Amino acid sequence: MNRSSPMMEQYKAVKEQHPDKLLMFQVGDFYELFFEDAQVAAREMEIALTSRDAGSEEPIPLAGVPIHSAEAYLNRLLGKGYKVVLCEQVEDASQARGLVKREITRILTPGTITDPEMLEESRNNYLAALVDNGSNHYGLAAVDISTGDFQVTEQKGEGAWENISDELYRLQPSELLCSSKESEQLCRKQFNYKNSGLIEQLPHVPEPEETKQLIQNQWDHQTWEKLELGRFPLAASAGAAALVYLQLLQQLPVGEKHFRRLNLYFTNRSMIIDNVTSRNLELTQSLREGVKKGSLLGLLDRCMTAMGRRLLRRWVELPMIKRRTIEKRLDAVEELMRKPLQRKDLRNLLQDIFDLERFCSRLSYQRVNARDLVALKKTLTQIEAVRKKCTALQAALLKETSSIIPDFKDLVDFIDRALVDDPPLSIKDGGLFKKGYNEEMDELKMFAEESNTLLLDFEKKERERTGIKSLRIGFNRNFGYYMEVTKTNLELVPLDYHRKQTLVNAERFTTPDLQRIEEQLTGARDKLSSLEYTLFEDLRNKVNAYTEQLLTASHQLARLDSLQSLADIAEKNGYCRPVFSNNKKMTVKQARHPVVEQTSFERFVPNDIQMDRKNYLLVITGPNMAGKSTYIRSAALLAVMAQMGSFVPAVEAELPILDRIFARVGASDDLSRGQSTFMVEMQETAGILKEATPDSLIILDEIGRGTSTYDGMSIARSVLEFISRQIKAKTLFSTHYHELTNLEGELPGVKNYTIAVKEKGKQVIFLRQLIPGKADKSYGINVARLAGVPLEVLIRAEKILYELENAAFEANDRQLSLLPMVTEPVSDYSREAELLDELKELDLNRLTPLEALQKLYEIQKELLEFENDHSQKELDQ
């Protein structure tokens, strides 16, 4: 085959239509890629790169994968941000006259996947369209075609980009399309370093009149008026741009209202949690591995359905701010928690319900087979049982579930009457329907069964006529029906036998009579196959008419599943129902960190949280590793859990309704954008000071540690003063700057707390208990000792610390660099170092147990004497 062969010309014609996509071209049982596409595919999918026309001067690069295993390779390409076109054979190669006809059957991009095997079931797969007008005004559309979720929002003015970028971080779209080169570059700078999704420009941004027409065509005139989209032109424009893009990709089902509802939302209608806070609090993924396990969502997710898992994620990301709505959710969680037997029954029923939301999407795209419909029948049977269980429950949300879920008895009966219990995977191979569903189909099936008998009778007759006992009738897709005769019996073949095919050990023949039977059978089977396919399409269309009811049921089941998940974890871990205060108090008795208490190897020590109008700024001191960060994170996580409608890990909890939470915990270099630790820290702090209100909760951990001591302390104190006097938000401020504890009584709202520790010689024991007051020292060298820092380093550190503390009383310009260098352990500690070496050199294999115990006693005794002597010297000084 050369470059000008008919098949390659066919390939080139398709490739010219989609130059920006990888073209997977069906050739027999393989998808093949050519030229540059082959080189990219071989590299990204880690498959062999070969060539066509290997012996020619210009061989064509070729890479291919078997069709039956193509999904895994497609996943890999889409996950790396590539777009893929599938061009498939749409006629049987054996029946084709000339070149096999091929057509584009699917265009896949990272944000337009519908196949369940290619999607993560617990999260939405968003395509995002971002439109801006160049003056700090943005519109954003987020579309999940696998669920039919279509939402738009708009932000303008100061902080608009920050709010949009927070939304993009939350949505984590697989594909992000921007209206301008500037916004595309901004998004690449912001997200490319942590998101492998595709970022590029929109092919077309509709004008206002076109925007209105597109939205009205997709939904209706009432949608435009009801949402007042004329007031939010960029939100509408982003939605219309997403629709245009989906049309270009052939991803809008013709004549189908796949996106049942357009949702216009605004971030200030729920608790605002920016991307920094979400990451620092580990709401949906852990900081270390970046996975769900180890996050708050990973702990709370006890859902039994994919729909429930996706909804629970949204609850964690978007806690509520309306007290009445929160209380309704808490009522439902409480009832399910207090009725464990009913909850267990619901969990057992829910686990057998498949992903109705994504099923409805595939139904709209006509990508549902007979097995899917049989699975739907089983799911609908389970849904009816769930509905009946909910009728016995009293909470408003639970009663709604029983009353709103439709009755699907007619649909269940219809599918049961039509399809066999175990249909084949392909809808074109026949064998889908039960007897009695269609009279014509039954007649054709009966004829096919009788034809088998006819063939057996014909075979028996020919054996008797020819005397060839081994003669058999067979079928081959390329040659049709034949009679096979071994070469040892060829002399017995009659003259009316016509040779059809020659094999190594046999010949295959046909006769006029066999040809007549073949024509009857082939015609009947082709007709039967065509009729079954037509009947299935009709059945699928009838099921599609129930989509609205199916989606209603899926939304109710998702909510029920999320509620039972929260109830299940609340009972398992001993959570309490939060109470919301009218006086903005935050009073929690024995609060625990929900994740740490489940993963810690030591017993978790609970602590109280007490903040009100008088004491709203807690300055928390104590050594590293004592539990300061865990404590302040606990307060934030309890607030998130309470406002999402969950019980909280505490004995009692009275909480205010917060408008947003800020958490600046730790810091790291952002080298991909050329920003240092301190720059990141200050940017995050600046954002907090600009956006926080008296109804916010602020978590600040070690502000100012990224720069010199005096700079850092100055900034930390200034931040504290600003929060105290200007913002007056509830704040937990952990620090090692002990000088800041002097602000209690000087600044309004400031209250000192510390994490209690117990000293035992040079060892320090963390009690994990928060107590009023302040730490008298940092215990840094003690912590270093626990971490296993070499003894020589610890000795030198203690000497330097002693010099620095003495220098505080001397000249102010004394510098660390002027301290005397020490290359050997200080004499006071030389014996301790010798004892350590002596312990290392002991050959335990040559000592009896008694000798080893005696040696250990001697070393311990000498170490204790040394420590007591050293402590007395320190007191004398």
Structure confidence at residue 844 (pLDDT): 74
How far from 548 is each of 253, 261, 322, 551, CA to CA, in Å?
Answer: 16, 11, 28, 5
Query: Please, are residues 589 and 719 in contact by the beta-carbon 8 Å criterion?
Result: no
CA dihedral 336, 340, 341, 347 (to 10 degrees): 70
Task: Please give the helix or strand (H or E) that residue 549 lies within, else none.
Answer: helix 547-573
Structure confidence at residue 567 (pLDDT): 98
Task: Please give the helix or strand (H or E) that residue 198 lies within, else none.
Answer: strand 198-201
How far is 686 from 698, CA to CA, in rounded Å?
Answer: 13
Structure confidence at residue 254 (pLDDT): 61
How far is 174 from 109, CA to CA, in rounded Å?
Answer: 9
Helix/strand/coil for 325: helix
Query: Please, are residues 595 and 299 in contact by the beta-carbon 8 Å criterion?
Result: yes
Structure confidence at residue 675 (pLDDT): 60
Helix/strand/coil for 671: helix
* pLDDT tens profile 61-98: 999 999 888 888 888 888 888 999 999 988 776 666 67
What is the side-by-side strand order in the sheet with 652-655?
579-580, 652-655, 586-591, 607-611
Residue length, the chain?
Answer: 877
Low-confidence ranges of the chain (pLDDT < 70): 1-4, 54-55, 93-97, 192-197, 254-256, 666-676, 706-708, 760-764, 776-782, 786, 804-805, 807-837, 840, 865-877
Nearest to 150 by CA among 256, 85, 240, 33: 240
How far is 616 from 585, CA to CA, in rounded Å?
Answer: 9
The end-to-end CA distance of the chain, in Å, is: 95
* pLDDT tens profile 3-60: 568 888 899 999 999 998 999 999 888 999 999 999 999 999 889 999 887 667 778 8
Query: Please, are residues 105 and 84 in contact by the beta-carbon 8 Å criterion?
Result: no
Q: 């937990």: which residue's tokens?
A: 732
Residues 6 or more apart from 347 whose CB is under 8 A from it? 304, 564, 568
Residues 6 or more apart from 277 whose CB is under 8 A from it? 636, 661, 662, 663, 699
* pLDDT tens profile 668-692: 544 445 466 778 888 888 989 999 9
Strands 472-476 and 480-486: antiparallel
Strands 60-66 and 102-108: unpaired
Which region, left, alpha or beta, applies to residue 24 given φ > 0 means left and ψ of -120 to 50 means alpha?
beta
Task: Please give the model's pTM, rounded to 2 decimal places.
Answer: 0.84
Helix/strand/coil for 719: helix
